[in-house]
Amino acid sequence: SQQGEEDPQALSIQEGENATMNCSYKTSINNLQWYRQNSGRGLVHLILIRSNEREKHSGRLRVTLDTSKKSSSLLITASRAADTASYFCATAGYSTLTFGKGTMLLVSP
Amino acid sequence: DVKVTQSSRYLVKRTGEKVFLECVQDMDHENMFWYRQDPGLGLRLIYFSYDVKMKEKGDIPEGYSVSREKKERFSLILESASTNQTSMYLCASSLWGLKAGDSPLHFGNGTRLTVT
């Protein structure tokens, strides 16, 4: 399986701090995506990084991809209480996306 | 904005019942997906469809079937519900792409199904 594995499973920080989540996977990929899920809701797409890209930014989000290490990281800068959610990486192989189990982020005011 | 609508937020059914979960998207997306989400197991793909009347098995298709008669609608069917199918079910859609994940998935808000 090429399922991504997020690390840590849970992260608790204060507002204004940065949050870093990591994702490791096992097989080659076409691209890697990050999603956010607020409690009891569906997932929302955050950012997509292709296998030939190393870094991508979107607002307060920064994603890196290291295909040699088969890993990616998501950095959320200057976190806010509204960033409290679960974050999932998803790896795109031949035909579908495969999701990891997620990192639960709690941002306290 | 893309809207993916799942017909029920919460559903309670009895063991052995036939259950239909409906999903409709309004952006003319070719691809549609059904995932289930369980604590500690993450999201697992049940079935997906890349065109009307086309379907492909995902990682855990056993006990489920799907129907896609129209482009905008993708139904998940539990032929005979069992307690181990109690879960959160998430529908998603995406534009067609040459490679998997070329376009991001757009998710509905999920249906929390309880089978008693």
Give the whole-angstrom CA distance, residue A27 versus residue B107: 25
Show which residues on chain A lie within 8 Å of chain B, measured between beta carbons.
1, 3, 30-31, 33, 35, 40-45, 48, 88, 90-102
Length of chain A: 109
> Contact B99/A92, CB-based, under 8 Å?
yes
User: What pLDDT, on a 0 to 100 scale, did the predictor assign at position B101?
Assistant: 65
Chain B residues in contact with A96 by the CB 8 A cut-off are: 33, 45, 48, 58, 100-101
At A1-56, the pLDDT tens digits run 446 788 899 999 999 999 999 999 998 888 899 999 999 899 999 999 999 999 99
Q: What is the DSSP string of A21-46?
A: EEEE-SS--SEEEEEEE-TTS-EEEE
The alpha carbon of B68 is separated from its chain's Cα centroid by a whole number of angstroms, namely 11
On the question of pLDDT at A98 being above 90, the answer is: no
Q: pLDDT digits over B3-48, tens only?
A: 999 999 999 999 999 999 999 999 899 999 999 999 888 899 999 9
Q: Give per-residue pLDDT as tens, B59-108.
A: 999 999 999 999 999 999 999 999 999 999 999 999 876 555 678 899 99
Residues of chain A in contact with residue B29, where contact means CB-CB under 8 angstroms, are none
